Amino acid sequence: MIDLIRTSAVPATLMQSAAKGALSVPPQEMIEILVYLAVHNKVFAEKARFTLASWEERSAREAAADPKTAKEVLDYFIDPQNLRPAVLPLLLENPAIGEESVIKLAVSATCEQAEVLLSSPRVSRSRSILTVLLSNPNLIENEAAAIEAKLSALGDETAHATESVPATSPSADTAADPEAEESLAAYLSENAAEIAAEGNKEFQPTAGLQEGGLESSAEPVEAPVKGMAAAAGASASSSSDTHEEVPRRAPLKKWILSAEEQRGSALQKISKLDIKGRIQLAMKGNKEERSLLIRDGTKIVALAVLESPKLTDGEVEKFSSQKNVLEAVLRAIPMKRRFMKMYPVVRNLTFNPRTPIDVSLGLIKNLLIQDLRHLSGNKEVSDTVRKLATKMFRQKLDVTKKS
């Protein structure tokens, strides 16, 4: 049934029944159908999301705990916008859920979600998740203290692995590099006003966007959660007006990290840095750090990655196909002649539904005939892009036949 629905081979009345969860199929398959409709079908998406939100808890828990559950279903369940408290503990321990998904949740989890995260054995073993969770502005004091204790314990367990590294040794990736230093100084000077205007914004990676949200700009992953947190806060305050306000932590961000901090993971480094520090890391850091910073919700930081002298062609090719970067990044790539000499980059940009339409239209003329044919049938991109691709495919096909 899911295959028939994916290929639109069923009547509208059956699709409507599917969106209501009323098909005679096993619960796990019904959940997969509902998630597909919620993500990919504009007509029945809202109804499918409503059905999923009120879906029977037992089968939802079974799906959340099963590593064999379809990846799209697990990704939907752990998305902060769709998260149900009853299934969160099971999702956290499901090995099929990637660490990046848990980190995305940890960035701006509510107090209640943070408590569940802290009770998770998997989270307690992950320095990366704990570090990101520690920078969460919604934490209360005792939660922050618990995270610091867990990180300290992890540090004691792995201390022997770093004893041989001199405390004053700089990271190999951020060692003195004249070209990178010059590029960094120029970038900071040229964009001083915009950097100052951004203030002290923390690192918030842009969220992966689903169909139906492609028209809007990518936003930091905290955005969908803040509204939920605010609603929860309003509800709590109405029932307990006499309670004192829970204290919040506002961890300080740095520009320069100590040698010990530099030896941490990429996410650890980034979570401790302010805007200038992240720009410096974007210019002088390694490939893993650039892959995270290209998704920074602060435009001036994300664009700094494209100015790095260390940036490789392979990285640019990957960035051009990503749907979870700011539109400003996809607009900036074709403005550099070096990147436009790489055909895979041109192709990826035109096929990427996040690429601004005017950019895509300007690049279509550079596509090969087989790619024009594929683009003309790509339903992820806009109708305008598909129509132009179809027109140019026919023109090039006619020229080929005549020759």
Burial class (CB in 10 A: 0-12, 13-18, 19+), 303: buried
Nearest one of 373, 375, 341 to 360, comparing CA atoms: 375
Torsion of CA 32, 35, 40, 41, to 10 degrees: 100
Please report, as a single letter, which amino acid is at residue 264. G
pLDDT computed for residue 169 by the predictor: 35
Task: Look at 268 and 32; give whichever has higher pLDDT.
Answer: 32
Q: What does the pLDDT average to over 153-161? A: 54
Confidence band (pLDDT; 50, 70, 90) for 173? Answer: very low
Tell me the domain boundaries of the chain: 2-162, 313-403
With bands split at pLDDT 50, 70 and 90, how would you rate the model's confidence at 132? confident
φ/ψ of residue 254, rounded to 5? -120, 165
Residue 159's pLDDT is 40
Asked if the model's pLDDT at residue 150 lies above 50, the reply is yes
| b/e sequence 23-47, b meaning 16+ C-beta within 10 Å | beeeebebbbbbbbbbbbbeebbeb
Calculate mean pLDDT across residues 142-163. Answer: 68
Strands annotated E in 75-223: none
Is the pLDDT at 297 greater than 80, yes or no? yes
In degrees, rounded to 5, the angle at the alpha carbon of residue 268 between the alpha carbons of residues 266 and 270 is: 70
* Phi, psi values for residue 249, rounded to 5°: -100, 145
CB 204 within 8 A of CB 221: yes
Q: What is the pTM of this model?
A: 0.48
For position 349, what pLDDT does the model report? 96
Mean pLDDT of 387-401: 87
User: Residue 135: pLDDT band by 50, 70, 90 thresholds?
Assistant: confident
Least confident of 43-47, 134-138, 336-340, 374-378: 134-138
Q: Supply the pLDDT for residue 148.
A: 86
When the pLDDT of each residue in the chain is averaged and rounded to a whole number, the result is 79
Q: Given this model, what pLDDT does residue 293 score?
A: 93
Whole-angstrom CA distances from 199 to 60, 62, 183, 290 are 42, 45, 22, 22
Over residues 274-287, mean pLDDT: 90
> 310-353: per-residue pLDDT in tens?
999 999 999 999 999 999 999 999 999 999 989 999 999 999 99
Could you tell me which of 85, 350, 347, 49 has the C-alpha nearest to residue 213? 49
Question: Which carries the bigger pLDDT value, residue 117 or residue 1?
Answer: 117
The pLDDT assigned to 363 comes to: 93
Q: Supply the pLDDT for residue 388.
A: 94
Asked if 103 contacts 76 with a C-beta cutoff of 8 angstroms, the reply is no
Which percentage of the chain shows pLDDT scores above 70?
A: 80
Q: Spell out the residues 6+ positions from residue 156 whose beta carbon is closer than 8 angstroms to its own.
A: none
Query: Residue 155's pLDDT is what?
Result: 67
Q: Where would I find the H helices in 135-221?
A: 141-157, 159-162, 178-190, 192-198
Contacts of 6 (CB under 8 A, 6+ apart): 36
Name the pLDDT band for 171 (thresholds 50, 70, 90).
very low
Q: Give me 220's structure tokens.
A: 């930091």
Task: Point out the least confidently predicted range of 75-79, 132-136, 256-260, 270-274.
Answer: 256-260
Single-letter amino acid, residue 361: L
Which residue, among 329, 385, 378, has the nearest Cα to 357 in the 3D structure? 385
Please report the pLDDT score of residue 304 as a whole number: 94
- Print burial letters for 250-286: b (CB count within 10 Å at least 16), e (below 16): eeebeeebeeeebbbbbbbbbbbbbbbbbbbbbbbbe
Instruction: Determine the pLDDT at residue 207.
Output: 64
Q: pLDDT digits over 43-83, tens only? A: 898 999 999 988 999 999 999 999 999 999 999 999 888 88
The average pLDDT across 108-124 equals 89
Q: What is the pLDDT of residue 227?
A: 41
Q: What is the rounded CA–CA span in Å between residue 262 and residue 257?
A: 6
Q: Which residue has the higher pLDDT, 210 or 196?
A: 196
Whether 317 and 344 have beta carbons less than 8 Å apart is answered as: yes
Closest C-alpha among 118, 112, 125 to residue 144: 118
